[in-house]
Amino acid sequence: MKNYITLLIFLMTVISVSGQNIDDSFSYKKMQKDLSLFKEIRARANSGLYKYRSKKQIDSIYKWAENKIKTAATHRDFYNIICKLTDYEGSLHNDTSLPKKTQEKLEKENYGYFPLPIKWIQGKWVINYKNKGIPLGSEITAINDIPISKIIRNLYKYYTTDGLNITGKRTGIRKHFSKYYRLHYGQVNTFNIVYKDKNTALSKTISIEGISYNSSYKRFTNRHSKPYDNLYYLDLDTSQKYHYKGLDTQTGLLTINTFSMGNETTEEHKAYKEFLDSVFTKIKMTGIENLIIDVRQNSGGSDPNDVITYSYVAARNFQESRQAWIAFNKIPLIRHLDINVPKTLRPFGVGKFNRHFQQRFPVEKNGNFYLSKESSEMKKRIPHKNAFKGSIYLLVSPEVASAGSLFAAMVASNANSIVIGEETMGGYYGHNGHTSLSYVLPKSGIITDFSIDNIEQDVSQRENQLDKRGIIPDYIVPQNFKDFIKNIDTQMRFTLDLIQENQTNH
């Protein structure tokens, strides 16, 4: 879950800016001023600026942006430039948002949105909605004479992931495709769609009218794959957040769909700890040899739920972070912070947070400020007395992010773990997370939000693990087309078959 630890002050009311339409004209001078400020914010406050890109690469994309605004003409043009810069850095906690009033105007638009949900299945974008125009499961190859592959690449900038990951971008695009298409290409009255019929593989063309913003999301809500992938899009109640069941005398299934269970002070967290203790006591008593841990819907949550869970499956002493640092010891450019406090009073309100940062990151090295060894993230931890010692089968997906991917990365580090599924959007070796800052660009009203802690996770080197990427499974198993049509869990079936095979071989 993006921004899983956020300073409360930055969740206050967004500063009200002019409620322009996104396609209104926007002057070069205003773009120039906001772009210059955006660049300064990233350089002074964002510790992740060079985490995945070299200085030469970052300088190059800002040169591109400086040239791009010379021909840009509208707020939408400028928003797209800022989105491109934000995404290029490579952090799933980076966000670029439109001003509230501009977003509200988008939501009231009654035409111009692509009418059909789509989903990435085995290398193809297919129709994910039962309708009279294009058969369910048909492959989209082009829209308005533009290949779908090019369209998707143009939309990647709207959904950020860690490092060079793109599987997570496909996850974000499947829900927001209609909105992202409108943001990049503008409002469109008619969509000329080229598709391949799933039954004949013949290319066909059909023209379909655009629909409203709200209708596009209603259709996504009623998508064909809803029975299979709905948990990722819900505000989960307690019964949906986590559960355990024994599958047979040798295999158990632990499902953790979120780590949003509060912190040590909350009753929900305490209940979760009791659940874990009960489950792993039972596992130890009954002699379970295989444990499937399913975190495929887990997009994050709160500390310390992730590390406490890991203590029950850890095979080593561990800590949440090997190190973490930020780029400042006093919040820079406070007059542009996205907080509902008069500018003249902001130094007083921000002061306590500066003191917090200075206490939490007391060690300065080369102009950066490092996490105290006394912090909870650096705390040395040992496996729980009931820690599971059998074979772990970890199920992951592109939805796994933030605290979810930190936990999954630590489990993947275990010698007794096998990882199955698809690459996570959250990074394996590290990420930018914890505390987030929000700034407003004053001329455009665009809000830029990013996490400031540059974190190195306590994980091992894995032979198949690529740098600057999410967790790479030992067995890459996407849902296949046949199972998509029937809403069958390809990955769980593969896992159960693998366990059976391993047991037979032993």
> Residue by residue, what is the 3-state secondary structure of 155-205?
HHHHCCCCCCCCHHHHHHHHHHHHHHHHHHHCCCCEEEEEEECCCCCCEEE
Q: How many CA atoms lie within 13 A of 506 on its CB side?
A: 8
> Which strand ranges, in their side-by-side order, compose the sheet holding 251-256?
242-246, 251-256, 290-294, 391-396, 417-421, 475-476
Give the pLDDT score at 237.
85
Reduced to 3 states (helix: H, G, I; strand: E, B; else coil), residue 256 is strand
Write the burial class of residue 279 (CB in 10 Å: 0-12 exposed, 13-18 middle, 19+ buried). Answer: buried
Percentages (nearest 5) of helix, strand, coil residues in the chain:
40, 20, 40
> Which distant-in-sequence residues (6+ apart) come within 8 Å of 217 by Cβ?
178
Q: Are 450 and 93 in contact (CB under 8 A)?
A: yes
Q: How many CA atoms lie within 13 A of 8 on its CB side?
A: 2
For residues 493 and 500, give the distance between their C-alpha atoms in angstroms, rounded to a whole number. 11
Give the pLDDT score at 11.
36
Per-residue pLDDT of the chain (506 residues; tens, 9 = 90+): 444 334 433 433 333 444 679 999 999 999 999 999 999 999 999 999 999 999 999 999 999 999 999 999 999 999 999 999 999 999 999 999 999 999 999 999 999 999 999 999 999 999 999 999 999 999 999 999 999 999 999 999 999 999 999 999 999 999 999 999 999 999 999 999 999 988 888 999 999 999 999 999 999 999 999 999 988 888 888 889 999 999 999 999 999 999 999 988 999 999 999 999 999 999 999 999 999 999 999 999 998 999 999 999 998 999 999 999 999 999 999 999 987 655 555 566 778 888 989 999 999 999 999 999 889 899 999 999 999 999 999 999 999 999 999 999 999 999 999 999 999 999 999 999 998 999 999 999 999 999 999 999 999 999 999 999 999 999 999 999 999 999 999 999 999 999 999 988 86
For residues 272 and 304, give the distance between their C-alpha atoms in angstroms, rounded to a whole number. 11
> Which distant-in-sequence residues (6+ apart) come within 8 Å of 299 by Cβ?
1, 2, 232, 258, 399, 400, 401, 402, 404
> CA angle, corner 125, sides to 121 and 131, nearest 5?
100
Give the pLDDT score at 5.
38
Compute φ and ψ for 59, nearest 5 degrees: -60, -35
For residues 414 and 412, give the distance between their C-alpha atoms in angstroms, rounded to a whole number. 5
Q: How far lies 285's CA from each of 145, 246, 276, 498, 503, in Å?
A: 62, 13, 14, 24, 20
Residue 266 burial (CB count, 10 A): 12
Radius of gyration of the chain from its Cα atoms, rounded to whole angstroms: 24
User: Quick one: tokens of 339?
Assistant: 């907080």
Give the pLDDT score at 345.
54
**Strand pairing report for 146-147 and 190-196:** unpaired
**Strand pairing report for 251-256 and 368-370:** unpaired
Give the pLDDT score at 2.
43
Write the burial class of residue 248 (CB in 10 Å: 0-12 exposed, 13-18 middle, 19+ buried). Answer: exposed
